[in-house]
Structure formats: C-alpha cells, structure tokens
Chain A
C-alpha cells in the first residue's frame, strides 16, 4: 500500500531531487513534456516542480481525454439528448466540458435531458436492459486505456442482443498526438518550444507497449515511460536528464513493473477487430490530427450512435482568446492567458485545459497559481 511508508518515500524523493540537481547541467535547458494528464496531476498535486532545478521545466501535454474533446463533439452529444427517447450515459467529468454558446451536458441535464452519470461501462448495459423502450447511448472517450472496456461492452450488448444500445465513440490515439506535437509543432501559428524529451503515459503503455513509441526515435527525442507515483515521476525525470546529457534518444521503460515492449496483445487485437482509424479527428487545442481517432467498423454500425442517429459534426469556432494550443506546446503558460482565473476557472471553463483536474490550466489554478505571486513562508 502506497501509504505504508510515507516518510521513507519523502526521503527517497529528496534523494532523487538531489541527483537531478547534480546531473542537470546549468549550461542548458531541459524541457520535458509529460503527455498524460494523470502525470500532470501527480506533478501538481505533490508540488514536484519545486523539487526541480530551474533549468528543468515540465510542459503539460494534451493527455487528458476530456480536455482534448472538441466543442463540436460535445455539441453532437447535446443534440443527441435533445431527443426525448435518448438516455445518455457519461463519465462525470464530461458534464462540465464546454460546448458552443455556453452549453454543456450539465446544463442540458438541468433543463430535463436524461443524462446518467455512470462509473463503469457495465452500468450503461444495465440501464439499456432495464429500459428497452429507450435508446441508451454510451459516451465513450479516452485513450487506448479505455478503448478495450468499450469493446468488451459492445461484445456484451451483441451477446445480449440489445437493440436499444449504441456508443458515441470518441476514442483517440496517443502516438498520433505525440507525433503531431513533435513533428508539426506549429499548428494554429502559435510557434513552438523545443521539447527535449517526453514522459510517456503509464496506463496507455500497458495496452500499446513501448514499441508504439519507437517512432519518436526518428525525431531524436528521448522518451521515458513511467507510472503514477510521485517517485516514478522523479525517477523518470532523472532518466530523461541522463539521456539528454549523454545525447541518447531512446524509449526507456521506468514502469517495467507493468509495461512490456509488446503491450497487451489481446486488448490490441480486440481494438483492431472492432475499430478503425479515422482519417482526421479534431483535438481541442491541437486542431485536426490525421489518424488520431477511432470509430466503429462497418460490421458494428448498429452500435455506432453516429450512424444510428445520423449525427454530423458542425465546425465551431473556439474562443479566440483561449491559449490552450500554445499552452499545450509549452509556448505559453496558463497565467499568460488573459482569461485565466477571471472568465475561465474550473467552475466555468472556457478552454480545454481548464476542464478536468488533469488539464494544464486547471492544475495550475487548483494547485500551482501561488507561484505566480510567490513569497514563501514556513508552515
């Protein structure tokens, strides 16, 4: 149990911090992006930035599934629940994600839409079984980690011959987004900051394996895959510093207690049996990224809510003052955004980075904004 020996953990963390400080050269900068929102959360929640030397800077990446969901997809879901026969099953975080014109699922629910917050995919199946005269739609989002459970759910529905059940599929692919950030960092003309290394996601990598990142090699960037304990993160940062110092750019696996090179082959098979890659998928803050989203294959069309209800994506303009795109590339910081903390807060998010606690702006608001006006005092 992680709380078994907190004191010892603290001592080890201090040791890792000293090692990072000793090995990071004062002559150069180390800019590392942690892709995954879970990692952003760990860094902010435990104040790990305070333990790094000034030359090491963490850039919070786009790896929070709610955050990267574009306005148009939220709008599609809202149009779905306008139909009185539809029950939409969602994970709680999605409720506040901003659609266009100040709309959200949370507001739609308050106005009478039948939206149920679920804790697992199984809940959605049960709801469909109990309400055979309603159309039950599961709002599926997430990276490779949550795709297999969606596949399992559809298999269940198939076996039970549920005719009133479908999935609004918004699953996205991690490697494509990484490639986009590293390879064409200039989308939306925000400029780019050189990224010196990537902290690779833990849970996603359990499914897709370290092999999936080996392309990053071509960009000459080190990648270290790591877990979700603060100590994992400190260790990963130390490994990245060492790779940079030694001029290496390898895919290293700090999280070998869970992640293999091949990943979970059965889960990969299940995904490729049921889903196919979309040509383009929009990411909030990053724009349209080729081959970065999944949809159900033709053979599963009856479970595809987009087909079933003829949903169409309407392009909508995002708030031009929102700097998410620049923040996700490390060009700007949350405090540089004019809306940060006045119009845009976790209660009233305007952009993607403020939506869930894993987003860069939300993490900075909830945990780190004291650094914008810091004056340290002993507790």
Chain B
C-alpha cells in the first residue's frame, strides 16, 4: 500500500465515527485506508480505485448479495463481520456449489459508532475472507446521522465460479430424494437471542458461523450430480428452507423428528421462549437434497468433515400436491412443519 499523508493518525482506540468520515473528504479516505484496506489487505484495494477489474473464466459464474443488520453485533463465537463474509460465501457455495472468488463490502455506519469496534469487525472480515481464500476487492462507506441507522449495517456481494456439470437449484428436488442436514439446528439463533435478552443459556453455546465451501467440495466429490439442492437454512430455519424447496420443486417432504439433530440447550431455550427449533436461524449449517442412490456416500463424506460430524439423514421428498413439509413426531403422531409466521424473532443475520 502506498503511504498516505494525513495530518493526524486515526485514533482507533478512543475515536468515534463522525459524519465527516463518510463525506468523501480526507477523513473518509483515512478511514477507508487505515481501517478497511489494512484489514482486507490485497492488491486490488491497494490500487485505490472505486472498482476492481478481474479476469473472467469460461463456464458459468454465480453472484449473490446479502445485508447484515444483526443485533447485537458481537456474540459468543463471532461478530457481524464474520457473518457478513461467511454468510455471503455460503450463499455462493451452498446454494450453487460454486467456488467463491471475490466479495464486495458496503458499510452503513451510524454517526458515533466506536472506531475500535469497527476495526475489530473489519479485522474479522479480513480473517474470514483469508480463511475462505477469497478477496474483498471493492467496497463503499456511508455514515448516517445518529438515529438514522442502528450502529452498523453491512452488505456484501459475492461472485464465484461453478464446476462443470453441477446444477444445484431449489427447483431440482425429485420424489424419493433424501434430506441431509450438516449438523445441529438453531445454535446460532439461540446464541444471539440469549445474548440479546440476557438469558442464561450462553453456557457452552456459540454461534456456528463458518464458511462451508470446503464441506461442499467434499460433498460434491462424493455425490456429484446426485446432489440436487443445497441451501443454508438461515432466517426462518430448516422449516423455511424445506418449504421453499417443496414449493419450487412441486413436492412434499416427510421428516422424522427423532433424527433431527438439536442440542439439548437449544431445545430447552426454545421451550422457554416458545419457539420451534426448526424456525430458528442457523449459520454455518447446510441442508442438501440428494438422490437416494448417492445419499449414503454424501452423508459419509459429511460426517468425515469437521463441519459435518453431526450430519443426519432426516427424511425424504414425497409426492404431495399440497407441498406439505410433514413430520413424524417423536411420539408417533404427525404434524406439519410450517413457515414461521409473524416476526417474534429479533434480527439475527
């Protein structure tokens, strides 16, 4: 990075974001260079353009975008910065099976936000991007007046490239396909809700934000085109994800409650808060709809991976004109697993 000369150093330890940091002047330039470029460190940013150029490969690419408004911004196991990078990478890879390449990051910051927190969050973003082997190559910063935003909002956009022959899409599920989940459900949502409401569930629960591209790669190797759909069940939880797949693919699902992995702490917290663990948000987890003949191989590959050791085959796709997601309860009765209605949940991604 070229040396920039500023009148005084940015006081990251004690300072706050002010309106001038978003006004396009010297203060903004200083913030961008000494905080974001420093954290994301790569050749594209170092050239100091408002955009970045990169080579285009043959074949198919994928692009996705997501906004992160989580509150609180720091929680056991992560912060909004990890989420903003991992979440978008997971959308690129988990939904499409693509290899993520580049990200953009856009920040809307409320006047008065602590520079030290911003630096920590930017640092986490840089770390998450490096771990996943992607670069954040362009971005934007806006500062809004106090009260016009809640602290910090981050939007990220990701671009990735698809392996040949892979076509994962939410309308691809077929009757007879198996439903695989990569691990226990609801950990992230309950961690954040407990933090927000000061509930005594924190013990041992941490958010599971993690990039999934490596897990996806081993699954694709094991299952190839037998993998039909992959999703990360974030907001709305497993219930929303499966209902969406059912609608788009024109079929229903039958699940077995006793096999669905849910940690006892999460189950107990849900009981207390009146929530259904299948409605609670997840990070770093995925759902895969897999052809029956390859399901066992894919499940074995998942279990052998650190992020999939609790993976389970929880049910299958069935013919159903009403596209119900139905579940055999652990007591032997049946019920629907419905979309979450209303908005009882705080913002968690």
Contacts and interface: CB of A to CB of B under 8 A. Distances in A.
Contacts of B338: 365-367
Contacts of A370: 322, 324, 326, 334-336
Contact of B322 (A119, A366, A373): A373
Interface hub of A7, A367, A369 (most chain B Cβ within 10 A): A367
Interface in A329-379: 345-347, 357, 365-370, 373, 375-379
Interface in A134-160: none
Nearest to B271: A2
Contact of B316 (A17, A367, A368, A379): A379
B329 interface: yes
B322 A10 contact: no
B341 A48 contact: no
A44 B332 CA distance: 12
Given A366-B338, A379-B255, A50 B333 contact: yes
Contacts of B327: 47, 379
Determine chain A's interface SS by DSSP, over half rule. helix
A243 to B, nearest CB: 23
B8 interface: no
Interface residues of B, number: 34
Contact of A13 (B264, B319, B332): B332
Interface string B245-263: 0000000001110100000
A230 to B, nearest CB: 5
Interface string B298-339: 000000000000000001101111101011111111111010
Interface hub of A14, A45, A370 (most chain B Cβ within 10 A): A370
A367 B258 contact: no
A48 B334 CA distance: 8
A188 interface: no
A357 B330 CA distance: 20
B342 A346 contact: yes
B331 A13 contact: yes
Nearest to B266: A3
Interface in A285-304: none
A232 interface: no
Contacts of B320: 375, 377
A377 B329 contact: no
A51 B268 contact: no
B247 to A, nearest CB: 15
A22 interface: no
A100 B127 CA distance: 53
Given A119-B197, A379-B254, A96 B334 contact: no
Contacts of B334: 47, 50, 370, 376
B336 A366 contact: yes
B14 interface: no
A346 to B, nearest CB: 4
B344 interface: yes
Nearest to A371: B334
A9 interface: yes
Contacts of B274: 357
A346 B197 contact: no
Contacts of A246: none
B271 A46 contact: no
B336 A367 contact: yes
Contact of A14 (B322, B324, B332, B341): B332
B326 to A, nearest CB: 6
A49 interface: yes
A317 interface: no
A377 B315 CA distance: 11
A27 interface: no
Contacts of B336: 366-370
A69 to B, nearest CB: 16
Interface in B180-228: 197
B166 interface: no
B267 interface: yes
A220 interface: no
Contacts of B258: 6-7, 10
Interface string A202-223: 0000000000000000000000
A50 B335 CA distance: 9
B64 to A, nearest CB: 27
Given A48-B333, A50-B332, A230-B331, A92 B344 contact: yes
B335 A3 contact: no
A321 interface: no
Interface hub of B197, B267, B338, B341 (most chain A Cβ within 10 A): B341
B268 A3 contact: yes
A1 interface: yes
B341 A51 contact: no
B331 A48 contact: yes
B190 to A, nearest CB: 14
A379 B335 contact: no
B333 A51 contact: yes
B256 A379 contact: yes
Nearest to B263: A3
A10 B19 CA distance: 60
Contacts of B254: 377-379
A1 B342 contact: no
Interface string A263-285: 00000000000000000000000
A376 B335 CA distance: 11
Given A47-B331, A369-B336, A373-B322, A379 B315 contact: yes
B342 A96 contact: yes
Contact of A9 (B255, B321, B324, B330): B330
A44 to B, nearest CB: 6
A203 B175 CA distance: 44
B18 to A, nearest CB: 27
Interface of B: 197, 254-256, 258, 264, 267-268, 271, 274, 276, 315-316, 318-322, 324, 326-336, 338, 341-342, 344
Given A1-B268, A7-B258, A345-B341, 16 more contacts: A13-B332, A14-B332, A46-B335, A47-B328, A47-B333, A49-B333, A92-B344, A93-B344, A95-B342, A357-B274, A366-B338, A370-B335, A370-B336, A375-B320, A379-B256, A379-B327
7 contacts: A2-B271, A13-B332, A45-B329, A48-B331, A366-B336, A368-B335, A370-B335
Q: Which 8 A-B pairs have the closest CB atoms?
A: A47-B333, A379-B254, A346-B341, A50-B333, A367-B335, A366-B338, A47-B335, A13-B331
